[in-house]
Amino acid sequence: MAEHEEEKGFVIKDRRRFAEGAEPEEESKGPQTESERPEAEPQSAGPETASREEERGPLPEVSMATFVFSLSSSALVHLGEIPEPETNQTRVDLGIAKQIIDTLGMLQEKTKGNLDPDEETLLRSVLYDLRMRYVQKSGK
């Protein structure tokens, strides 16, 4: 019986080098063999990352409600209803807002009959609210 060769997948490694606050360096010229390529160094969380995590506090438990609220918050940002968290600026991008609203609609269809009553009510009301805001913003 022939030996079974272990099926290997592929690995994508980002070999661009970044300096703090700089653009990626231009890739080196010419092909490199796998043995000539430098291995990526593992990145450790620095003190700045640790202090941001302490300020933020523990993340909420992942549940259907937190997932729906996360998506709806993103939709509200793109509808210009709330400012972007990082820049504190409001902007309207109806295409992305529609994509998120459609994603919530797809989630509603795919989970039909599998949600508890509170989750179903939450998803339905969030979708209704976002769709009304979208229609209002788009002028349709």
Q: What is the pLDDT of residue 8?
A: 63
Distance from CA of residue 39 to its chain's centroid? Answer: 27
d(CA 4, CA 113): 44
**What b/e sequence results for 17-52 when a residue is b if at least 16 CB atoms lie within 10 Å of its CB, and e otherwise?**
eeeeeeeeeeeeeeeeeeeeeeeeeeeeeeeeeeee
Cα distance between residue 66 and residue 100, in whole Å: 15
pLDDT at position 59 is 83
Token couple for 132: 């009304």
pLDDT mean for each 10 residues of the chain (140 residues): 57 66 50 49 56 74 94 96 92 96 97 96 97 91
What is the domain partition of the chain in residue ranges?
61-138
At 55 the pLDDT is: 74
To the nearest 10 degrees (0 to 180), the angle between helices 117-138 and 94-110 is 150
Q: In the prediction, which pLDDT does 29 show?
A: 47
CA distance 73 to 81: 9
pLDDT value for 45: 54
98: Cβ contacts below 8 Å, ≥ 6 apart: 134
Q: What is the pLDDT of residue 35?
A: 47
pTM: 0.60
What would the two tokens of residue 100 be? Answer: 């998120």
pLDDT score of 81:
95
Whole-number pLDDT of residue 111: 96
CA angle 55, 72, 140 (to 5 degrees): 145
